[in-house]
Amino acid sequence: MDDSKSLNKFIAETGFCSRRQADNYIEEGRVTINGIVARKGNRVITGDVVLLDAKPLINKPDLLYIALNKPPGVTCTTDLRDPDNIISFLNLPERVFPVGRLDKMSEGLILLTNDGDIVNKILRSRNEHEKEYIVQVNSPITPEFIKKMSSGVPILQTMTKPCFVEKLGTNSFRIILTQGLNRQIRRMCDYLDYHVTKLKRIRIMHIYLQDLPSGKWRMLTPEEVVLLYEQVQYSEK
């Protein structure tokens, strides 16, 4: 019976980083297996000595699942050279990393965890995980705007998927996406000659922002974590 596992999965399961980031470390030549520089696609078995930057990976810590109400101005990066990085903002003793992104000037719900395996599953757009936003723009919302936004808009050399869009006020709307294109909502609005003045994410899948104050965070409830696992259990590893 083959007890081996992919190197990036092994690294992610230590809680050090996501599988995607592990691939970056491997490509940079920072990972060794039994003293030999590793390559993408390598597999490890029990007893192999895996080092990152010549240091052993610590066993997986207690898993943390955090919901943060990110304020504008915080960058969703783990790069500590960025003075506005989200890790320094949280200032936790445990190493965590964000699940996906929320651009710097946007606000609202973002998940952070040290569970590298589940990050990889959540980020797969084909899993159709819903994300819900409240958006304010600089011009009055028209029926034509709602129709075009919900039908699909050409951005980034592709057409956005049909989505739910609902007018909330003169200059505000609610939108539910299952895609994660870079600055997707802002680009969609720009294409239709609207400028986003405020963008707030209020839900990721079954996890709601609710009344969590800006800049504050909470642990996910046990029920939220169980449902999170249920929703991603069939994701490709």
Q: What is 124-192 written as a DSSP string?
A: -GGG---EEEEEEESS---HHHHHHHHH--EETTEEPPP-EEEEEETTEEEEEES---TTHHHHHHHHT
How close are the terminal C-alpha atoms of the chain, in Å?
19
Q: Are 115 and 123 in contact (CB under 8 A)?
A: no
Q: Going by C-beta distance under 8 Å and a sequence separation of 6 or more, which residues neighbour residue 25?
A: 11, 17, 31, 52
φ/ψ of residue 67, rounded to 5: -110, 120
For 231, the enclosing helix (H) or strand (E) is: helix 222-232
* CA 125/CA 178 separation, integer angstroms: 7
* CA 145/CA 148 separation, integer angstroms: 5
Q: Going by C-beta distance under 8 Å and a sequence separation of 6 or more, which residues neighbour residue 233?
A: none
Q: Going by C-beta distance under 8 Å and a sequence separation of 6 or more, which residues neighbour residue 70?
A: 76, 86, 102, 106, 107, 108, 109, 110, 215
2, 23, 79, 103: the catalytic one is 103
Specify whether 53 is catalytic: no
As annotated, the active-site residues are 103
